[in-house]
Structure 1
Amino acid sequence: MTHDLALENVAISLDGKPLVAVNTRIAPGEVLTLMGPSGVGKSTLLAHIAGFLAPSFEASGRVLLNGQDLTKLPAQARRAGLLFQDPLLFPHLSVGGNLAFGLREKGSRRQRRERIEAALADIGLAGFFDRDPATLSGGQRSRVALMRVLLSEPRAMLLDEPFSKLDTALRDEMRRLVFERVRSRRLPTLMVTHDQEDANAAGGRVIELKAFRSCHGKDNLPY
């Protein structure tokens, strides 16, 4: 089943001051890019969608995934995969252990091991199951982080500047990998970034965020 992600008049404020407002729909397999300087609420919006918004913020409106209102659901029930700037791999777990953490509970121990081995092969890391994450290159850690999210079988993807800490060559490689995977899985995807090249690689709609004044109409954000 494919899903679409709708943000219906979502508005976030801090200490009573408007921070960001969004009214849009992201189709299955579409990558929508939000661009803007630091402080305009890009990552805060992702945290709200994923269910991790800090209590100091106030949010209104609805977040719908395939018509289901996620707004009141706990983070673990939302099925929104979040990929950060840093891979955030668990240092006390092997590469395989990190992927097992993301794997949804189903199948025997052997079947789960086989799924993880196949996932590693899919991202060019066959045989890395027992490797220590500390021995991986930056690009390898990023690929493991991506696959850990995908193994959790998300219904939507949220990308929080996931390419910003990679060098140019690795950035191009990871962009291709990420966008290929979300499109092949038909995942509605929201990416926030400072980098125009990220937006160009995504190839979808781009919305520019600026300091908040007002927001009205479809697909309008602070300007």
Structure 2
Amino acid sequence: MTDGLQLKNIEIRRLGKVLLSLDLHIRPGTVGAVMGPSGAGKSTLLAAIAGQLPPEFTLSGEITLDGRSLRRLPAQARRVGILYQDHLLFPHMSVGANLAFGLDRRVPRHSRRAAVDQALEDIGLAGFHDRDPETLSGGQKARIALMRMLLSEPDLLLLDEPFSGLDASLRDQIRRLVFALARRRHLPVLLVTHDEADALAANAEIVRL
């Protein structure tokens, strides 16, 4: 069995025209980075892995995660977490409710509050359970979005330029947090970015489109 994410003979076409082709293996606890200009197919690749490829695209090749094929699995069964530039917090929910939404459904009801409070402590936001997401800073929103995704216990982390909307000092802080938590959980990470500094910060193997 091959651990981590394996992309083998991947080819994505749009309306019959080849958009991208690549091979990549990302082991648990390591980062692979796909770089290229806008329109090169970076986000489309993440959609293909997550099972969210739009109908105008076709995919060929193998996608395996810890030895299991993802191609025929529905998106919700792939155990893939995605972090976007837009943090997509639910504005009608408190910070705690946003995090509880991400919790694996196997966590029993009586344990959910404690799990959320521990998650807030892990990202330096203890006491924020009842806060309105609209009152948070950009960095705080980024940390909540990251932890909400991790609470779903994914086996793979996909990063779609999640740092590009942050200022320089905050960008470095959130980058270090994301990669540290991924290493701690032994998650393979696929990062798409146009910024070389993101890939270098992750010590990533870089594929250029």
Give the corresponding residue for 1:131: 131
Query: Does the alignment pair 1:108 with 2:105?
Result: no
Question: How far, CA to CA, are the matches of 1:169 and 1:23 in structure 2?
Answer: 34
Question: How far, CA to CA, are the matches of 2:80 and 2:3 in structure 1?
Answer: 11
Encode CA deviations 1:35-82: one digit per residue, 9 max, x unaligned: 110001000000100111111111111110111110011111000110
Give the corresponding residue for 1:20: 20
Question: How far, CA to CA, are the matches of 1:169 and 1:89 in structure 2?
Answer: 22
Q: Structure 1 residue 100: deviation in Å? A: 0.9
Alignment of 1:189-208 (within 5 A): 189-208=189-208
Give the corresponding residue for 1:153: 153
Question: How far, CA to CA, are the matches of 1:107 and 1:90 in structure 2?
Answer: 21
Question: How far, CA to CA, are the matches of 1:110 and 1:192 in structure 2?
Answer: 38
Encode CA deviations 1:94-122: one digit per residue, 9 max, x unaligned: 11111111100124323111000000010
Alignment root-mean-square deviation, CA: 1.1
Give the corresponding residue for 1:168: 168
Q: For structure 1, list consecutive stretches of 5 or more residues without a partner in the other structure.
A: 210-223
Q: Normalising by structure 2, what TM-score?
A: 0.97
Q: Structure 1 residue 25: deviation in Å? A: 1.0
3-state SS in 1 of match to 2:118: helix
Question: How far, CA to CA, are the matches of 2:158 and 2:107 in structure 1?
Answer: 27
3-state SS in 2 of match to 1:165: coil
Question: How far, CA to CA, are the matches of 2:55 and 2:100 in structure 1?
Answer: 30
Question: How far, CA to CA, are the matches of 2:57 and 2:89 in structure 1?
Answer: 28
Question: How far, CA to CA, are the matches of 2:183 and 2:191 in structure 1?
Answer: 13
> Which aligned segments of 4 or more residues in structure 1 are displaced greater than 6 angstroms?
none
Question: How far, CA to CA, are the matches of 1:3 and 1:180 in structure 2?
Answer: 19
Question: How far, CA to CA, are the matches of 1:134 and 1:188 in structure 2?
Answer: 31
- Could you tell me which amino acid in structure 2 is paired with residue 208 of structure 1? R
How many residues in Structure 1 have an aligned counterpart in Structure 2? 208
- Could you tell me which amino acid in structure 2 is paired with residue 47 of structure 1? A
Give the corresponding residue for 1:72: 72
Identity rate of aligned residues, in percent? 59
Question: How far, CA to CA, are the matches of 2:39 and 2:6 in structure 1?
Answer: 23
Q: Are 1:3 and 1:186, in contact at CA under 8 Å, matched by a contact in 2?
A: no
Question: How far, CA to CA, are the matches of 1:98 and 1:187 in structure 2?
Answer: 22
Q: Normalising by structure 1, what TM-score?
A: 0.91
Give the corresponding residue for 1:212: none
Question: How far, CA to CA, are the matches of 2:150 and 2:22 in structure 1?
Answer: 26
3-state SS in 1 of match to 2:186: coil
